[in-house]
Structure 1
């Protein structure tokens, strides 16, 4: 019997640090102050990630936290054209290079080091049905893809452009099509970063 201690949930600022390093890796630039300044001023995808982390921090403020979070959410929604529900749980290392039209529904769980492209929808299958998707770590959701309903995507899953995912996808596989099907022979080793 081992004495296992629960792992602490990363703070919003730890997640922001992971977001920054994901952007540095994706752009091939050193993770320095110049890159941080460039991302804050010129990259809408990083600005959206920054807003998500500020919202996560704002909710911790006594009394005014909910209002502050809602104001930050509203500003991000208007300025980016994305609707990311305030109660979606999003891990660190988020990379959104083209953040236009991204929708993440209430209660959706997004793992760490996930890449989301433009027009991605993660949410309920129908408005009156319960259940939202859960994405593992290191997933890549391509442009226009829809991941809908009470389903799970394992770690290192890739979803092709414009695919409509309505069922679970095991770790390391690629799904394409409408409705999405798993491509044969696409399993990847979990230790390989996509």
Structure 2
């Protein structure tokens, strides 16, 4: 009787594990990853191209399986899967990283996502991005990225920092501090240049990031012009008094 109960529990556990694979743990996030490519990439013309020609999708497939094994304390194999994924796609994602659904890694060559990094739903990551640590400290040492975040090409987000929802990080930026929601960050080190944008910008429109330096220069030129006008007015008034 006891053996029958143990056998039934084992079968139930196996069935639950299979359901997890086919539902929330693997299949559902992968379907979100697949659909988001059609929504965000105008070059995606059919499902065959996505399955065979998108390294970002391949890397996420490898990672989700490796992460599923990692959280079940399987040794060596998750790291091997991660390494093979890096070899074939140029994208390195540690099995311990937590990746939300609907994430799109566009092109992806050179992307590195560390062990304790957390990436929220529907985040867009371009090539050359690093979500890394800043030292040899243990525990949580990589960034937490919120939902609907855009990380531009070559950007580096380092340390145990919080990148909140709907943040846009400009290409080549280095972010070392927390970023509040609905912000745009550019520069080295990254600085917040705008918040709470009323006009919604498409995640793919990187050319619409504000040019801070150009804005400062225009402001200075305008100020200089006003000062020159004031000085000219004073000189004219002085000359008039002399006569």
TM-score exceeds 0.5: yes
CA deviations 1:13-55 (Å, max 9, x no partner) are 111011011101013589xxx8332211111121112212232
SS of match in other structure, 2:49 = helix
Q: 2: CA distance between counterparts of 1:29 and 1:98?
A: 12
1:173-192 maps to which residues of 2 (within 5 A)?
Answer: 173-184=183-194, 186-188=195-197
Please, which of 59, 76, 86 is the counterpart of residue 77 of structure 1?
Answer: 86
CA deviations 1:140-164 (Å, max 9, x no partner) are 0000100011110110001001100
1:152 aligns with 2:162: yes
Deviation at 1:127, TM superposition (A): 3.4
Please, which of 8, 18, 21 is the counterpart of residue 35 of structure 2?
Answer: 21
1:57-72 maps to which residues of 2 (within 5 A)?
Answer: 57-59=68-70, 65-72=74-81
Q: Report the equivalent of 1:105.
A: 114
SS of match in other structure, 2:104 = coil
> What is the TM-score normalised by the length of structure 2?
0.66
User: Does the CA contact (< 8 Å) of 2:132 and 2:159 recur in 1?
Assistant: yes
RMSD over aligned Cα, in angstroms? Answer: 2.7
1:95-174 maps to which residues of 2 (within 5 A)?
Answer: 95-128=104-137, 131-174=141-184
Deviation at 1:98, TM superposition (A): 1.1
Q: 2: CA distance between counterparts of 1:193 and 1:11?
A: 29
Deviation at 1:89, TM superposition (A): 0.4
More RCO (CA 8 Å, sep 6+): 1
Unmatched 5+ residue regions in structure 2? 1-19, 204-243
Question: Alignment length, in residue pairs?
Answer: 180
Q: Which deviates further from its counterpart, 121-130 or 84-93? A: 121-130
1:41 aligns with 2:46: no
Q: Which deviates further from its counterpart, 49-58 or 72-81? A: 49-58
> What is the TM-score normalised by the length of structure 1?
0.82
Higher helix fraction (1 or 2): 2
SS of match in other structure, 1:147 = strand
User: Does the CA contact (< 8 Å) of 1:99 and 1:118 recur in 2?
Assistant: yes
- Structure of larger gyration radius: 2
Unmatched 5+ residue regions in structure 1? 1-7
